[in-house]
C-alpha cells in the first residue's frame, strides 16, 4: 500500500510531536485523521493543516472507543509533561491504559498497524547507562510520576499481549527528550523553560546541582524515526529507543540556551523534584541497525530554530 492510499490515525495529533507527524504524513500523500481532546495540546498547532482536503481534525478522548476505518495508527495520546500529567494523575493513567485498550481494539477490528509512543520514563531513574531496550528499569510505582511512568509501562504490556494473543502488527518506540517548535511555553520541560525564561530576561531555574543529564532530540529527527518504525515489517515490534545519544548536563544546556538567545539573565537553584532521573541517555544501536535511523540535527542547530519560534510566539502573545 502506498502512502497516497493510506488513511492514518494520529491520536494526540494536535500536540507538539503529533502536529509535526501529521504534517509529515500529509506531505507523503496520506490521508490523516488527527484525534485530540486538547487537554495538553492546542488546536493552533494544526490550524495550518485544516485547509488540506486530506486532513481531518476530530475532538475525541481516547479513553472512549473510537469507530473509524484506518490503515495505520500512531498512538501518541497522553499528556507527556509533568505539569499536565500530574495535574490529574488518575486521568493520566486512564489515558495510558484505557486509551491503549481502545486503540488496540480499533487496530484489531480494522487490521491496522499500530505504533505506541512510549517513553524513556519506563527506565525510571536508571541504574545502567546508557539505557538499552533490554533494561527493565528502576521506577517508583507509587511516586508522583508513576501515573505516567507506570501508565506507559502498562501500555507496553497491553501492546505485547495483543501481539501475542491476537497477532496484531504492533510497533513500540521509547521516546527520549524531544524539543522544537510548537512546544507549549508552560509545559514544564527543561528546554522550553530555559528558552522562555531567557527570552523574558528571567533567571533560568536549575534543579539540584545541575549535574543531572538529559539527551535532546530535535522533533524533525524524532518524526523521521517514528515513520521509519511504522514502515518496518511484521517481524519488527520493538521496543526501540528513539532519541539523540548526545548527553548534556542541565548546566551545559543552560549555557547553550543563553548563547542561542544572546543574553544572560543568570540562573537560580531549587531542590531536585521527587523521583527526577539523574541520568538519561539512549542506546540507539537497535534503531541504527533495524531502522537505519539516527538523529542528524545537533543541539545548537535545533536550539536556534526553537528559540526563533519562541521569540515569535512570545512577541505575538
For range 302-311, the mean pLDDT:
95
The distance in angstroms from the start CA to the end CA of the chain is 43
Which tens digit of pLDDT belongs to each residue from 265-283?
999 998 887 777 788 899 9
The β-bridge partners of 55 are 32
Q: Is the pLDDT of residue 317 over 80?
A: no
Q: Give the predicted TM-score (pTM) of the model.
A: 0.94
Angle 258-247-155 from CA coordinates, rounded to 5°: 110
Cell reading at 160: 505485547
CB 124 within 8 A of CB 278: no
Whole-number pLDDT of residue 2: 62
Name the CATH superfamily, with its identifier, for domain 3-176+218-243+282-295.
NAD(P)-binding Rossmann-like Domain (3.40.50.720)
Q: In this predicted model, what pLDDT tens digit does every residue of 156-186 receive, in sequence order?
A: 999 999 999 999 999 999 999 999 999 988 8
Per residue in 5-15, pLDDT (tens digit) is 899 999 999 99
Model confidence at 85, in pLDDT bands (50, 70, 90)?
A: confident
pLDDT at 208: 86
Per-residue pLDDT band at 80 (split at 50, 70, 90) = confident
Q: What is the pLDDT of residues 202-228, one digit of tens each?
A: 999 998 888 988 899 999 999 999 999
Active-site residues, by number, are: 148
Quick check: 1 pLDDT over 80?
A: no
User: Residue 84 — very low, low, confident or very high, per pLDDT cuts 50/70/90?
Assistant: confident
* Each residue's pLDDT tens digit, 221-250: 999 999 999 999 999 999 999 999 999 999
Q: Please calculate the CA angle 231-236-239 and round it to the nearest 5 degrees.
A: 105
Alpha carbon distance 289, 45 (integer Å): 33
Tell me what the pLDDT averaged over the chain comes to. 94
Instruction: Summarize pLDDT for 7-60 with one digit per residue, the tens.
Output: 999 999 999 999 999 999 999 999 999 999 999 898 999 999 999 999 999 999
Q: Which residues pair with 175 in a beta bridge?
A: 119, 242
Confidence label for 3 from pLDDT (cuts 50, 70 and 90) = low
Express each pLDDT in 106-156 by its tens digit. 999 999 999 999 999 999 999 999 999 999 999 999 999 999 999 999 999
Lowest mean pLDDT, pick from 64-68, 70-74, 190-194: 190-194
Amino acid at each position: 500500500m502506498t502512502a497516497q492510499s493510506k488513511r492514518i490515525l494520529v491520536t494526540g495529533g494536535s500536540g507538539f510531536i503529533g502536529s509535526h507527524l501529521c504534517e509529515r504524513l500529509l506531505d507523503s500523500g496520506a490521508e490523516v485523521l488527527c484525534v485530540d481532546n486538547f487537554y495538553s495540546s492546542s488546536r493552533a498547532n494544526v490550524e495550518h493543516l485544516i485547509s488540506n482536503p486530506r486532513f481531518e481534525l476530530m475532538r475525541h478522548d481516547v479513553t472512549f472507543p473510537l469507530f473509524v476505518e484506518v490503515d495505520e495508527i500512531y498512538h501518541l495520546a497522553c499528556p507527556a509533561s509533568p505539569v499536565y500529567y500530574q495535574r490529574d494523575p488518575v486521568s493520566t493513567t486512564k489515558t495510558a491504559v484505557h486509551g491503549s485498550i481502545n486503540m488496540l481494539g480499533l487496530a484489531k477490528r480494522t487490521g491496522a498497524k499500530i505504533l505506541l509512543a512510549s517513553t524513556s520514563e519506563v527506565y525510571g531513574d536508571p541504574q545502567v547507562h546508557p539505557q538499552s531496550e533490554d533494561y527493565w528499569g528502576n521506577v517508583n510505582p507509587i511516586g508522583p510520576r508513576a501515573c505516567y511512568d507506570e501508565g506507559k509501562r502498562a501500555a507496553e504490556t497491553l501492546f505485547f499481549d495483543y501481539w501475542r494473543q491476537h497477532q496484531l502488527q504492533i510497533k513500540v518506540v521509547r521516546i527520549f527528550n524531544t524539543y522544537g517548535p510548537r512546544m507549549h511555553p508552560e509545559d514544564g520541560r527543561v528546554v522550553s523553560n530555559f528558552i522562555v525564561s531567557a527570552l523574558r530576561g528571567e533567571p533560568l531555574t536549575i534543579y539540584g546541582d545541575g549535574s543531572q543529564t538529559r539527551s535532546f532530540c530535535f522533533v524533525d529527527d524524532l518524526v523521521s524515526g517514528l515513520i521509519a518504525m511504522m514502515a518496518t515489517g511484521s517481524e519488527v515490534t520493538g521496543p526501540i529507543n528513539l532519541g539523540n545519544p548526545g548527553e548534556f548536563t542541565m548546566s551545559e544546556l543552560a549555557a547553550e540556551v543563553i548563547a542561542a538567545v544572546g543574553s544572560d539573565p543568570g540562573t537560580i537553584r531549587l531542590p531536585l523534584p521527587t523521583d527526577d532521573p539523574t541520568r538519561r541517555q539512549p542506546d540507539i544501536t537497535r534503531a541504527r541497525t533495524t531502522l537505519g535511523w539516527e538523529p542528524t540535527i545537533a543541539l545548537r542547530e535545533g536550539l536556534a530554530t526553537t528559540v526563533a519560534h519562541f521569540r515569535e510566539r512570545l512577541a505575538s502573545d
